[in-house]
């Protein structure tokens, strides 16, 4: 074995180790992760945090085509959408304990099923396990102007707070309330 060969072999070994190292970093996602916080004037520290992937619209119609009706969806992209409640709250008029959940949905033409599930840190809806459901609610689907990128936000009107799922011309408004609001209404 001559010196040149040894050098080139060493170089190759070095190169392959560098290459394998660079592969340990993920590329930027096509549907990047975003964070949405719910804070209110009354509660400046967060009440809810949502971490979710934001895919783009890539067909004429998102729901019923790109995302089929009647099938469970991770409500975003890549890692399952995570919702953290910092305090016990009413979510879709059902009480949910403070904690971290994944949110799956079953989109429908007129009505969506929204699921909070305790099987966190999972990918997509592949690991969805119905026995880990914490709550299931049904919310009517509404129409509004077209938004190309899947968005989760919060809105307040008439003293009501909603978590809004928005994509294409579809809006799903999930009513929210903190415990003192629930108590005040009793």
Partner 1 sequence: MKRIKITLGIACVCAFLWQIDATAQDFRDLDASPHDIVYFRTNKISPPKIKVLYGRPKKNGREIFGNVIPFGKIWRVGANEATEVVFYNDVVFGESEVKAGTYVLYAIPDKSEWTLILSSNTDVWGVYDYQEKYDVARLTAKVSKAEFLEAFSIGFKDKGKHVNMVLAWDTTRITAPIKILL
**Residues forming the site for partner 1 (CB under 8 A):** 18, 21-22, 24-29, 32-37, 45-46, 49, 51, 54, 78-79, 121, 142-147, 149, 151, 153, 155, 157-158, 160, 164, 166, 171, 173
Structure tokens at 135: 């709550």
For the bound state, the minimum distance from the C-beta of residue 175 to partner 1, rounded and expressed in Å, comes to 10
Other CB atoms within 10 A of residue 130 CB: 11
For the bound state, the minimum distance from the C-beta of residue 37 to partner 1, rounded and expressed in Å, comes to 7
| Nearest residue (CB) to partner 1, 11 versus 37 | 37
For the bound state, the minimum distance from the C-beta of residue 99 to partner 1, rounded and expressed in Å, comes to 12
| Nearest residue (CB) to partner 1, 61 versus 155 | 155
For the bound state, the minimum distance from the C-beta of residue 157 to partner 1, rounded and expressed in Å, comes to 6
Structure tokens at 109: 């033409």
For the bound state, the minimum distance from the C-beta of residue 163 to partner 1, rounded and expressed in Å, comes to 10
Q: What letter does residue 165 receive in the DSSP assignment?
A: E
With beta carbons less than 8 A apart as the criterion, state whether 155 and 164 touch. yes
| Nearest residue (CB) to partner 1, 2 versus 24 | 24
Element (H, E) at 105: strand 99-106
Structure tokens at 61: 């119609």
Element (H, E) at 19: helix 3-22
> For residue 124, how far is the Cα from the chain centroid?
9
> CA-to-CA distance for 150 and 70, rounded, in angstroms?
18
| Nearest residue (CB) to partner 1, 32 versus 68 | 32
| Nearest residue (CB) to partner 1, 45 versus 131 | 45
């Amino acid at each position: 074995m001559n010196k040149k060969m040894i050098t080139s072999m060493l170089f190759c070994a070095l190169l392959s180790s560098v290459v394998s190292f660079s592969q340990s970093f993920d590329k930027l996602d096509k549907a990047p992760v975003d964070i949405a916080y719910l804070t209110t004037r009354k509660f400046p520290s967060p009440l809810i945090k949502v971490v979710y992937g934001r895919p783009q619209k890539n067909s004429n119609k998102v729901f019923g085509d790109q995302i089929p009706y009647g099938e469970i969806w991770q409500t975003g992209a890549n890692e399952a959408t995570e919702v953290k409640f910092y305090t016990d709250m009413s979510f879709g008029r059902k009480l949910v304990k403070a904690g971290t959940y994944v949110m799956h949905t079953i989109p429908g033409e007129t009505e969506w099923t929204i699921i909070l599930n305790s099987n966190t840190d999972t990918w997509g809806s592949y690991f969805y396990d119905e026995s880990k459901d914490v709550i299931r609610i049904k919310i009517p689907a509404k129409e509004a102007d077209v938004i190309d990128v899947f968005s989760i936000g919060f809105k307040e009107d008439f003293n009501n707070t909603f978590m809004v799922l928005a994509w294409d011309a579809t809006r799903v408004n999930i009513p929210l309330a903190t415990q003192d609001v629930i108590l005040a209404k009793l």
